[in-house]
Structure 1
Amino acid sequence: MASQEIQEMLGVSRTRAYQITNSKSFPDPVAVLSVGRIWQTEDVERWIKAHRPDLQDSEG
Structure 2
Amino acid sequence: MASQEIQDMLGVSRTRAYQITNSKTFPDPVAVLSVGRIWRAEDVERWIKAHRRDLQDTEQ
* Whole-angstrom distance in 1 between the partners of 2:46 and 2:57: 12
Q: Please give the per-residue CA displacement for 1:5-37, whole angstroms capped at 9, x wherever unaligned.
A: 000000000000000000000000000011100
Question: 1:11 maps to what in 2?
Answer: 11
Aligned-partner SS, 1:7: helix
* Whole-angstrom distance in 2 between the partners of 1:46 and 1:58: 15
Cα RMSD between the aligned structures? 0.8
Question: 2:48 maps to what in 1?
Answer: 48
1:56 Cα offset (Å): 1.3
Question: 1:32 maps to what in 2?
Answer: 32
TM-score by length of 1: 0.95
1:59 Cα offset (Å): 4.3
Identity within the alignment, % = 88
Query: Any unmatched runs of 5+ in structure 2?
Result: none
* Whole-angstrom distance in 1 between the partners of 2:33 and 2:11: 24
Aligned pairs, number: 60
TM-score by length of 2: 0.95
Change (3 A) 1:46 1:7: same
1:53 Cα offset (Å): 1.0
